[in-house]
């Protein structure tokens, strides 16, 4: 009879360590996903929930030690007021963009072009803030106005990575629009376990490359 123990990598082997790391990361993302969803349910707390989510994912992509549950809850409480203000700002801009797009569909000629133009501009502003202000708030101390200003500054300085962040942010919403219902039912499990935390983890890998330029020297990273 074959020894089935050989199917599993030996203890201490690099492969076993890598598999263990992957499983731990997957577990962290599942926990983070549900923490974020539950904490964002009142809507007004969506901003603090996103700040807490990025606080943990930014540490994960850096390979830092972080206790997922404790780290998330501590960051959620720390960013409750300022994160809520930023969240409401993004939600308000999103509502304005959606309202302008709705009115544009009911207009013709120049008015339609005008409303669509305004909707596009406001949507780009809202999307840029969505991609940057919550990670900034999670990582750096600043006023909410300062976070908004820095969000646009970073977006302007890194246009290529900003486009990638837009794509990551829009992907969970765009995928259901273009895939057949049969495939979406198969992907439903992915949304269930990492619909919010997965994109945040991917975005954090991009964001960290941008943030390294502005980190203080005491963090041990280049300015």
Sequence ranges of the domains in the chain: 19-219
pLDDT tens, 79-91?
Answer: 999 999 999 999 9
pTM: 0.84
pLDDT at 33: 93
Tokens read off for 59: 């540490």
**Spatial distance between the Cα atoms of 75 and 205, rounded to a whole number of angstroms:** 19
Distance separating the N- and C-terminal Cα atoms of the chain: 60
pLDDT of residue 10: 58
Max alpha carbon distance in the chain (Å)?
79
pLDDT at 37: 93
Do 73 and 34 meet the contact criterion of CB atoms below 8 Å apart?
A: no
Q: Is the dihedral of CA 160, 198, 97, 38 positive or negative?
A: negative
Q: What is the pLDDT of residue 221?
A: 39
Spans of the chain below 50 pLDDT: 1-2, 4-5, 8, 217-223
Close Cβ partners of 174 (under 8 Å, ≥ 6 residues apart): none
Closest CA to 90 of 138, 53, 42, 124: 124
Residue 15's nearest CA partner among 2, 26, 6, 3 is 6
> How many other β-carbons are positioned within 10 Å of the β-carbon of residue 153?
12
How much helix, strand and coil, in percent to the nearest 5, is found in the chain?
A: 80, 0, 20
């Amino acid at each position: 009879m074959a020894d089935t123990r050989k199917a599993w990598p030996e203890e201490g082997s690099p492969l076993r360590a890598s598999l263990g790391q992957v499983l731990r990361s997957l577990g962290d993302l599942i926990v983070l996903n549900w923490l974020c969803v539950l904490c964002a349910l009142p809507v007004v707390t969506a901003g603090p929930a996103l700040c807490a989510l990025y606080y943990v994912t930014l540490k994960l992509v850096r390979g830092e030690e972080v206790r997922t549950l404790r780290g998330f809850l501590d960051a959620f409480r720390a960013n409750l007021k300022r994160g809520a203000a930023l969240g409401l700002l993004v939600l308000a801009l999103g509502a304005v963009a959606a309202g302008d797009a709705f009115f544009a569909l009911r207009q013709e000629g120049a008015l339609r072009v005008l409303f669509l133009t305004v909707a596009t501009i406001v949507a780009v502003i809202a999307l840029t803030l969505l991609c940057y202000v919550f990670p900034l708030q999670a990582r750096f101390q600043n006023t909410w106005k300062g976070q908004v200003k820095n969000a646009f500054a970073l977006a302007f300085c890194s246009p290529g990575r900003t486009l990638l962040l837009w794509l990551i942010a829009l992907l969970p919403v765009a995928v259901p629009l273009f895939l057949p219902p049969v495939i979406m039912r198969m992907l439903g499990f992915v949304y269930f376990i990492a619909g919010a935390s997965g994109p945040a983890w991917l975005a954090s890998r991009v964001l960290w490359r941008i943030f390294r330029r502005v980190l203080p020297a005491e963090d041990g990273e280049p300015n």
